[in-house]
Structure 1
Amino acid sequence: MANEGFFERVYEVVEQIPEGMVATYGQVARLVGEPRKARFVGYALHSNPRPGIVPCHRVVFADGSICEGFAFGGKEVQRVLLEGEGVVFADDDHVDLSVSRWPAGLA
């Protein structure tokens, strides 16, 4: 399958996001060398073959919003997981990216 290499690169990057920080889908796409494939990062994470190892809950949208349909229980579960790691929220549905964004790949 053509996506296997891309998906595996996504998992390798996401595994590096430190506890207490988040990255955006676009940021992960840039870090794997495919800056226009943020949506495909989402597909990869939805197919996460290693739940609990690949911390896909640490990936959010460009505006800091958490995923409505978080694959592992909804946005409430994603928020609880992130808050449990110390991620700071700006409001009920948005991570404060100025505080909790992983700086990897940012210019």
Structure 2
Amino acid sequence: MGAMAGPTHSLPEYADRVLTAAEVIPPGRVLTYGDIARRLGEGGPRQVGRVMALYGAAVPWWRVVRADGRLLPGHERRALERYRAEGTPLRDGTAPGDMPRLDLRRARWDGG
């Protein structure tokens, strides 16, 4: 890993573990921030979210999602393009004109 780290900076070990977990999520599937924290046995959703905010551009960031299925604020259109290209299960928004949400029941990866 360490694609974002410069030659004099090393990626924190926890961040490396989060990014490695994100890299193995297959196309069309997702894990929540909390799912990754549980898999690592360390930290929580906020810590995973912080790692993704700082270093996530180096991995398929759109596959690490909020537990409510809402698309990442500020990145909705880019994420939606990726989800549609990968065939990630989506649900329509609750009101006309709403952004779709992830269908977590169908999109969540079981790690198998």
Identify the TM-score tier after normalising by the shorter chain. Answer: 0.7 to 0.9
List runs of 5+ in structure 2 lacking aligned partners.
Answer: 1-8, 93-98
Partner of residue 19, structure 1: 27
1:95 matched to 2:96? no
Pairwise CA distance, 1:46? 1.4
Pairwise CA distance, 1:79? 1.0
In 2, Cα distance between the equivalents of 1:17 and 1:38? 17
List runs of 5+ in structure 1 lacking aligned partners.
Answer: none
Q: Secondary structure at the match of 2:37?
A: helix
Question: How far does the alpha carbon of each residue in 1:56-75 deviate from its partner, in whole angstroms, 9 at most, with x for none?
Answer: 11111111111113xxxx21
TM norm structure 2: 0.77
Aligned length: 97
Q: Among 5, 9, 12, which residue is 1:4 paired with? A: 12
| Contact 2:19 2:56 (C-alpha < 8 Å) held by counterparts | no
Q: Secondary structure at the match of 1:21?
A: coil
TM norm structure 1: 0.80
Identity of aligned residues (%): 35
Partner of residue 4, structure 2: none
Q: Secondary structure at the match of 1:47?
A: helix
CA RMSD of aligned residues (A): 2.1
Matches within 5 A, 1:1-107: 4-34=12-42, 36-48=43-55, 51=58, 54-69=59-74, 74-91=75-92, 92-104=99-111
